[in-house]
Amino acid sequence: MAPWSGYAKKIFGNPTKGGRQLTNEKLNIGIVLGSTRQGRVSPQVGEWVKGIADKRGDANYEIVDIAYFQLPFLGTTDGTEPGIAAWNEKLANLDGFVFIVQEYNHSITGALKNAIDFAREAWNNKAAGIVSYGSTGGARAAEHLRGILGELMVADVRTHPTLSLFTDFENFSVFKPQDLHQDNLKLMLDQVIAWSGALKTLRQK
Ligand SMILES: Cc1cc2nc3c(=O)[nH]c(=O)nc-3n(C[C@H](O)[C@H](O)[C@H](O)COP(=O)(O)O)c2cc1C
């Protein structure tokens, strides 16, 4: 039984009121890898985020790899591929997201857009942070993603680590982030956790 159920709730009110997460139940945060190409660097970036996030102990963080779900191109099949249902189920069980975003032609990858389009309600009233990379930190791709998230009622937080292909990767392929990104990442995670907890109360109404 939840510690705040029943009598305690009557006396103290709703423990999640005001957006603060006061129950012991940890939030589930998915670290979504936005690229699927062979030789991609996104798994290295995702593991860096997860390593720092796990040390906080404030949520269950997991890597969510779009490639694993083997989604078809939206609308080209009858929609019965098991990966489509599994993708929606995975998203439904998450309270918030950290998108690992790489810039392809000044935008997000086609794979990420396709995966985003494959769900609707499972995105709604959740929070997200963005970690992006590219020649200019992936900033243009990240801004495109923000517009998409608005349509899906995903609240994207302000703080946004931007990684450079020139100074945070060796030979554009081995991820070696500069120390300065850590503080930004931690602040971004603070914001994702705060908003994910707040929005969870909205979904429970
Ligand atoms: C099709 C394609 C288009 C790209 N366009 C851009 C771009 O517009 N701006 C940029 O900064 N990097 C661009 N890049 C470089 C990628 O950001 C870089 O290769 C990055 O490592 C891709 O992420 P991934 O390794 O996780 O797939 C492009 C790469 C590809 C494959």
Closest residue by CA, ligand 1 atom 8? 105
pLDDT at 50: 98
Task: Let me know if residue 43 belongs to a domain.
Answer: yes
Closest residue by CA, ligand 1 atom 6? 104
Mean pLDDT, rounded, of the chain: 91
> How crowded is residue 167: how many other Cβ atoms within 10 Å of its Cβ?
12
What would the two tokens of residue 168 be? 């945070």
Task: Let me know if residue 119 belongs to a domain.
Answer: yes
Task: Let me know if residue 3 belongs to a domain.
Answer: no
Is the beta carbon of 35 within 6 A of some atom in ligand 1? yes
Distance 80 CA to ligand 1 centre (A): 31
Residue 19 pLDDT exceeds 70? no
Closest residue by CA, ligand 1 atom 30? 104
141-181 pLDDT, tens digit each = 999 999 999 999 999 999 999 999 999 999 999 999 999 99
Polymer length of the chain: 205
The enclosing domain of 62 has a CATH number of 3.40.50.360
Q: Which of 46, 43, 36, 192 is nearest to 112 (CA)?
A: 36
pLDDT at 10: 42
Is the beta carbon of 40 within 6 A of some atom in ligand 1? yes
pLDDT at 14: 45
Task: Let me know if residue 7 belongs to a domain.
Answer: no
| % of the chain exceeding 90 in pLDDT | 87
Closest residue by CA, ligand 1 atom 29? 104
* Range scoring the smallest mean pLDDT among 3-7, 103-107, 190-194: 3-7
Residue 120 pLDDT exceeds 70? yes
- In angstroms, rounded to a whole number, what is the distance separating the alpha carbons of residues 199 and 202? 5
Closest residue by CA, ligand 1 atom 23? 102
- The DSSP string of 93-133 is T-SEEEEEEE-BTTB--HHHHHHHHT-SGGGTTEEEEEEEE
Distance 142 CA to ligand 1 centre (A): 13
Is the beta carbon of 173 within 6 A of some atom in ligand 1? no
> How crowded is residue 123: how many other Cβ atoms within 10 Å of its Cβ?
20
Task: Indicate the top mutation candidate among 31, 44, 49, 102 to test ligand 1's pocket, ranked by most ligand atoms within 8 A of CB.
Answer: 102
Residue 3 pLDDT exceeds 90? no
Task: Let me know if residue 147 belongs to a domain.
Answer: yes
The pLDDT-based confidence of 73 (bands split at 50, 70, 90) is very high
What is the pairing mode between strands 174-175 and 169-170? antiparallel
Closest residue by CA, ligand 1 atom 24? 40
- Predicted TM-score (pTM) of the model is 0.90
pLDDT at 24: 66
Q: Which domain holds residue 82?
A: 27-203
- Give the residue carrying structure tokens 């309270």: 95
| % of the chain exceeding 70 in pLDDT | 88
Structural domains in the chain (count): 1
Q: Which of 31, 149, 28 is nearest to 94 (CA)?
A: 28
101-111 pLDDT, tens digit each = 999 999 999 99
Q: Give, to the nearest 10 degrees, the angle between helix 110-117 and helix 139-151.
A: 10
**∠ Cα 93 187 117 (to 5°):** 40
The pLDDT-based confidence of 205 (bands split at 50, 70, 90) is confident
